[in-house]
Every structure is written in C-alpha cells, then in structure tokens.
Amino acid sequence: MQPFAGRGRLFLLRHGETEWNRARRVMGRRPIPLCVAGRAQLATLAPHLGGLGIEAIWTSPVMRARETAEIVAATLGGLPIREDERLSEVRYGAWEGRSFPELLDDPAYHAFHRDPLRARVPGGGETLLEVRERVFAAAADALAETAGGHPLLVSHGDPLRLLLAACLAIDPEEFRRIRVDNGALSAVDLIGSWSEAKFVNMRPDLCTMLDAEVDGARALRDRAQAPGETK
C-alpha cells in the first residue's frame, strides 16, 4: 500500500546548499539564503528537469527552499509556485543556530537520535511523526490538485527522507538510511494502492555525492568511537 492518497508522479527536491549546511549548523526555520555553491547546484540540475513533465511547484516557505523553487521555476519557463507550510523544515526549537558538534553534550540530542520519531525537540520543537503526517498531507493535496500530473515538492532533508521511507515501505525508524543531498532530486510513482521509487537522490555530480555525509552523522560517529566514550 502507498502511504497517502493520490495518483501520479511526485518529484521531490531538497533545497540547494547554504553556508550553514557547510558549517554543519542547525537551520530549522531560520531565513538562511542559498550560498553561491547552492545556486550553482541548482543551475546545473534545473536544465535536466525540462523533459520530466513537471506542471507546478509546491515549496516550503522557508527562504532556502523558496529560492530553490524560484530558480527551478524560472528555468522551466515560469512554472507556478505555491508555498505550503506543511513542507517546511522540522521545528528544531532550542537547537536552531547551534552546530552539530555543540549538540553532542546535550542529552536531548542523543535521545532524539535513539528515538527519532517520538522524541520531541526541546524549546517548542516537534516530533518527526508530526512532521511525517504534515508532509504526507501536502503530497496528497499536490497530487489531487494536479489530477494525476507531475508536481514538484521542494522541501528539506528530514521531511523528504520520511516521505521516501514510507513510499519504499522502509521501517520509519530507519529513515536516515536514505540519503537526500542538497540540490538532489527523487521521483516516486503512486497508483492509488502502490508506490514505486523511480530514482532517489539524483544530482549531476555523482562523484561529489559519494563524499558527503548526513548532517550530524559524522559527529555522532566520532563521539561514539572516541577513546573513553560510551555509545
């Protein structure tokens, strides 16, 4: 079974890179713009989208996602853009603005990694189960409004991983096994009772993608492997 209602082909794009991505800093909902490298990523990717039949773009209203949608829309001849709050980044509450290494001494951060779906981010954050439900609803509405067409959703890393994990029937606890890089495109077909991933995390620069790591993963691994530390 597919995880939410609708028929059609759904394209999923994570926003381009920002300076905070490079600094491994938690952005959450903060209005951080794309950096030069992020705009270059999208300039390289966008021409490849011309033959995919994308009819409209739904985007997170967060600055970096909106800028991404605008670059793609302009390249594809001025496609309509609709902002949808449900595609926004996770509310990371008290962690926004902090670097991932800085969070390693926060017990709540480790609890979040042990139970990523149900642990609530401190300081007004949300659980990833809540994030998953709102992203599912946004995807279903986009498919319904394009009447089986090909909408493009522009969103953020964890929301897109959660959606892809569900479409692939992967245990939601394991959603972080799916790579979703900045400026990378995925596609899923939905027929009303079945979902099939056509491709996941595609970018023109395949070699560069092999050297990337999920935000926070390297820091947690290094801490777990450090002498005298317990996992």
Please give the chain's pLDDT, 231 residues, in tens.
Answer: 889 999 999 999 999 999 999 999 999 999 999 999 999 999 999 999 999 999 999 999 999 999 999 999 999 999 999 999 999 999 999 999 999 999 999 999 999 989 989 999 999 999 999 999 999 999 999 999 998 679 999 999 999 999 999 999 999 999 999 999 999 999 999 998 899 999 999 998 877 767 765 555 555 555 444 333 332
Please name each of the domains of the chain with its CATH number: 7-225 (3.40.50.1240)
Helices (H), the chain: 19-22, 36-45, 63-75, 107-114, 128-145, 157-167, 206-209, 217-225
Q: Are 190 and 2 in contact (CB under 8 A)?
A: yes
Catalytic residue among 17, 89, 96, 156: 89
110 is catalytic: no
Catalytic residue among 15, 17, 67, 96: 15
d(CA 62, CA 170): 28
Q: Is the pTM of this model over 0.85?
A: yes
89 is catalytic: yes
